[in-house]
Amino acid sequence: MARPGAGWVVALAAAIPYLPLLPFSPAAAQVAAGQYVVARDGHFYLGDQRMRFWGVNATPHAYLNCKPHLDMFARRIAALGFNAVRAHYFLNQSYVYGADLSKREFVPYTKGDGSVWDGLDYLISRYKQLGIYCYGTEVLGPLPLTPEAYDLLPDDGTGAQWRAAVAQLDQQSGINPLPWALAYFDDRIAAVKLKHWRNILDHVNQYTGKRYAEDEVFALWQTTNETAGSVFGIIVDDPMYTHAMPEFFVQEIRRLWNDYLQRKYGAYPRLRAAWGPAAAGQALGAVSLPWGQMKTGQVKLEPAVYADLMAFGMERWEKHSAECVALIRSLAPAGVGCNVVPICTGATPNPVLPMAWASASGDFVAANDYHFALTADRTNPLYPWRSRLSETPVLHSGLWLGVKDKPFVVYEGNVHKPAPYRAEYPLFDALAACWQDYDGVFLHSLYPLTMRDDEPWTEPLGYAYNSEWKSLFDGCLFWTDEILCAASRTAGEIFRQGLISPAPQPTTVTVGKQAIFDPKYYRFGRMHWDERQMLPDLEWTQGLCGGRLRYDPAWDGKIRVEGRSAVHPYAAVTWGRGPQVRWDWPQGQMVVDTPRCNALAGFSFQSHQFGTGVSVAGLNRPYISFVLVSQDGAPIATSRRLLCSCVSTGENTGLRVDPAKMEVRPLAAGGQWVLGGESLKAMILSPGTAPVDIKRVSAAISLPRLPGRICRKLDFAFRRLSEEPAETGFVLREGEPMYVCELTAP
């Protein structure tokens, strides 16, 4: 990745000319002045309008010193159909490139000086002009924590020890999550984090003329990213978080732990009565941290000890989260910007109950949705690959139900490539998000790897451990993935318009004190551990009935299910009024048939007749994702603005994999569990090269007659391939490199 420096390293006379804006991009109008997104009645609103974000995690570090490339990047995001960007590993770059770490101050810039800040502010101004909102995250992984930060707070006599302990911490960008989890235990590290927040929100964008705190373009803020896992990982001594813990911070956490126990119990007999034999040899005020009890993903602690640990962890979490929220709210006038926009105090990357409980404490809830496309089942006809559409209708793991009465956002999600059946992913998530009445879906990740001037999206596909980051998440980069981009373009239209009605009476699952504070429920979600800790019927409830979670630590119970509780479905599942969606998972097919949207996804479609009068015939591929969606609010039969995508599969030329190298583990209940990341790393023998070998679809699409309608086909650079009459339909041809097509009528 090219490292931005001072000055424009690429000097182009004008904006890159080859990217016209799609006329029907959702970013057709700039962000409205004086209006701010708020959370109300469990959803996001802009004034009286419900706001749904179909977004993307976007990190164009390689472009931050080249305005023409930033223009191209912003315009392409709009053209790909996204109306929001999650600024992930993005708003902290000033510290990395030349900031004053001794004062924890941002480097000032002059408009047009070509600095990182100049490029970032210019890009955000372009987002604003294009109607693309920003989801601001404060990701502190790459921000160095240095010993001189001690001086942010008055000296308390621990300067030498604190500086030495900080010097021991792993300073590599994002590799060790420990330093910033310690903000929940150490006031000085917390002060550094709060200083960073103040710097971000007080920063003035010289292109918009507004402080970030007051700029309408920032629709959402997130105080930390996935840190609850680190905080509770420290509490239960998960080696991932505590293996490099300096002794100074171990003793600090032990002191806080004893302070909590002293306040709760007051005297040793009360501790002994609660803990029983676990209190033997302890003295109140000098209770040891019960570490060393995390075994193969399970917590092996006495329930009373575990309950106190979780309550202690939540106390620390709520204290620092409240500090962050209070500061953020204070940095803008009443009713303006960060004083009112929704704030998330965490994000949930895995189904660990304490982490999800903590992360649900903000204005909205965020969880991720990553998938592996591997199976170890050699009887599966798709082996070694798998399709979600061919499996029982489990939408997400158990904690992804959505939290009752709060907006819910998928903050990151994608399928790890290689994944031949990835074309279904955007449509599936759009439909599931409509069914669950979610408020945002942010795919991961649009990350340009080069600064080429000539169509940088024609680079090879990124595969796990075989691209820029040399990590699992290389397989989620889709800047060059025409199939995923095309499927996402039309899926986003479905979600943003809310074209599938939500579950009318979603089941509510209340998680009470006996589950939250019971070590047997530590991993509550759908996991492949020997002890499965989620009630089996809940795995299918959200797919059949819709579902919501409610955390109630005051209720002295475990799990309460209010509403329908589904059993294993052996037939097709339907969603929406009508129904609007039929998911025939035994056949691996999903069909959407509504007045404003028709879609087919899955296997063995040769032809299909929709209730709208639309028919599809002559499909040449055994697996497809086809979407036809109205963009003007009218039914398909009379719409004068339709958008269509139709894709199958495609991989790099020369991709070679060896399924025999998959890493699998036996399950206690029988069968095997595929270790997705380890398997992809081992089985990719060669990632191949460009060009991507796309299996293009041919078909004949018949439409209700509409005089004057034309079909305009575009390629992945949004160049016009052809324009032809389409009063009664149009034809897709295998030889055409079509990305999407637009159907318009006067």
Domains of the chain (ranges, CATH numbers) = 37-231+319-497 (3.20.20.80), 247-315 (no CATH), 573-661+691-744 (2.60.220)
- Picking from 447, 374, 363, the residue whose alpha carbon sits closest to that of residue 416 is 374
What is the spatial distance between Cα 158 and Cα 151, in angstroms, rounded to a whole number?
Answer: 11
Residues facing 56 on adjacent strands: 85, 443
Q: Assign residue 30 a region: left if phi > 0, alpha if psi is -120 to 50, beta otherwise?
A: beta
Output the CA torsion 593→595→596→599 (10° steps). 10
DSSP 650-683: EEEET-EE-GGG--EEE-TTSSEEE-HHHHHHHH
Taking CA atoms, 546 is separated from 298, 565, 683, in Å, by 29, 10, 37
Contact 589, 604 (CB under 8 A): yes
Long-range Cβ contacts of 501-504 (<8 Å, 24+ apart): 501/434, 501/576, 501/577, 501/580, 502/434, 502/435, 502/436, 502/437, 502/546, 503/435, 503/436, 503/437, 503/545, 503/546, 503/547, 503/575, 504/546
pLDDT of residue 463: 95
pLDDT of residue 422: 98
What is the spatial distance between Cα 651 and Cα 532, in angstroms, rounded to a whole number?
Answer: 36
The one-character DSSP state at 214 is G
Taking CA atoms, 169 is separated from 65, 99, 108, 177, 182, in Å, by 31, 20, 29, 10, 11
Contact 83, 112 (CB under 8 A): no
541 CB contacts (<8 Å, ≥6 apart)?
507, 509, 547, 561, 564, 565, 566
Omega within 30 of 0 (cis) for the link into 536 = no
Sign of CA pseudo-dihedral 16, 21, 27, 33: positive
pLDDT of residue 675: 87
- Picking from 436, 439, 438, 456, the residue whose alpha carbon sits closest to that of residue 447 is 456
Which stretches within 393-546 are classed as H helix? 424-435, 482-497, 513-516, 538-545
Phi, psi of 152 (to 5 degrees): -65, -25
pLDDT of residue 177: 59
Kindly give the parts of the chain with pLDDT less than 70: 1-28, 61-62, 89-102, 139-144, 170-178, 292-299, 350-351, 396-401, 449-454, 525-539, 567-570, 668-670
374-404 b/e with 16+ CB inside 10 Å = b?
bbbeeeeebebbbbbbbeebbbbbbbbbbbb
DSSP 477-520: --TT-HHHHHHHHHHHHHHHHT-SPPPSSPEEEEEEHHHHT-GG
Taking CA atoms, 76 is separated from 65, 130, 132, 310, 497, in Å, by 18, 11, 11, 45, 21
In the three-class reduction of DSSP (H, G, I as helix; E, B as strand; rest coil), residue 410 is classed as strand
pLDDT of residue 294: 56
- Picking from 348, 365, 345, 665, the residue whose alpha carbon sits closest to that of residue 525 is 348
- Picking from 435, 418, 583, 414, the residue whose alpha carbon sits closest to that of residue 485 is 414
Element (H, E) at 310: helix 303-330
Q: At CA 586, angle to CA 581 and CA 587, rounded to 5?
A: 75
What is the spatial distance between Cα 352 and Cα 230, in angstroms, rounded to a whole number?
Answer: 11
Centre a 10 Å sphere on the Cβ of residue 440 and count the other Cβ atoms it contains: 27
Element (H, E) at 38: strand 37-40
Contact 201, 338 (CB under 8 A): yes
Omega within 30 of 0 (cis) for the link into 418 = yes
What is the spatial distance between Cα 595 and Cα 578, in angstroms, rounded to a whole number?
Answer: 11
Residues facing 84 on adjacent strands: 55, 133
For the chain, report the end-to-end CA distance as a whole number of angstroms.
46
Which stretches within 343-423 are classed as H helix? 353-359
What is the spatial distance between Cα 426 and Cα 413, in angstroms, rounded to a whole number?
Answer: 10
What is the spatial distance between Cα 486 and Cα 94, in angstroms, rounded to a whole number?
Answer: 34
Strand-pair category, 740-744 with 710-714? antiparallel
What is the spatial distance between Cα 368 and Cα 356, in angstroms, rounded to a whole number?
Answer: 11
What is the spatial distance between Cα 736 and Cα 738, in angstroms, rounded to a whole number?
Answer: 5
Output the CA torsion 550→553→558→564 (10° steps). -20
154 CB contacts (<8 Å, ≥6 apart)?
none
